Amino acid sequence: MAKILIADDDAILTEMLRFRLEGARHQVVTAADGMEALEKAGSENPDLIILDSMMPVVAGPEVLARLRDAPQTARTPIVMLTARDGEKDVVAALKSGANEYMTKPFIPKELMVRIQKLLVRAA
C-alpha cells in the first residue's frame, strides 16, 4: 500500500484514477491546481505523484521542476499526464525529471502497471 498524490484540475479524471488506485489498495490524496499540488506534496509526503501537465495556477512542468528542486520530493517517482502526444514534449518531460509519461487518452491498466513498477523500484 502506498500513498499517491493526484494533481489534476479535472475532477472526473481524478475520480477515475482514484477508483483504480483505491481498488489496488492505495491511499489517494488529490490536489486541484499546481499550487495545491506543491503544498500537498510537502505536507502529505506521498510515495508517488501523478501530475497533469495542464493545470491552473502553476503549470505541470513548473510544478515538476519545483518538486525536483525540493529535497523532500527530489526522488519521489512522478508520472506526467498530458494531452499532447508530441515526441518533443515526452523528451522534455523526461529530461526535466519525470519518471514516466502518459498521454491522454490512456489505458487505465497500462497506467496501473507503470505505477506499480515505479513503486516497486522506489521501495
Rounded to the nearest whole angstrom, what is the least distance from the CB of residue 122 to another protein in the complex? 25
6-35: contacts with another protein (CB under 8 A): 10-13, 15-16, 19-20, 23, 33, 35
Helix (H, G, I), strand (E, B), or coil: what is residue 16? helix
Compute the distance between CA of residue 29 and CA of residue 32 in angstroms, rounded to an integer: 10
Determine, following the binding rule CB under 8 A, whether residue 44 of this chain makes contact with another protein: no
Q: Which is nearer to another protein, 59 or 90 (CB)?
A: 59
Rounded to the nearest whole angstrom, what is the least distance from the CB of residue 106 to another protein in the complex? 6
Check: CB of residue 60 under 8 Å from CB of residue 52: yes
Applying CB under 8 A, which of residues 24, 27, 44, 59 lies at the interface with another protein? Answer: 59
Applying CB under 8 A, which of residues 62, 97, 112, 114 lies at the interface with another protein? Answer: 62
What cell numbers appear for 1 in the block? 500500500
Determine, following the binding rule CB under 8 A, whether residue 119 of this chain makes contact with another protein: no
Helix (H, G, I), strand (E, B), or coil: what is residue 4? strand
| Among the listed residues 118, 119, 115, the one whose alpha carbon sits nearest the alpha carbon of residue 107 | 115
Rounded to the nearest whole angstrom, what is the least distance from the CB of residue 41 to another protein in the complex? 16
Check: CB of residue 63 under 8 Å from CB of residue 31: no
Q: Is the preceding peptide bond at 105 cis, omega within 30 degrees of 0?
A: yes
- Note the Cα 24 to chain centre separation in Å: 17
Applying CB under 8 A, which of residues 54, 90, 112, 119 lies at the interface with another protein? Answer: 54
**Rule CB under 8 A: which residues touch another protein?**
10-13, 15-16, 19-20, 23, 33, 35, 54, 56-59, 61-62, 83-84, 104-109
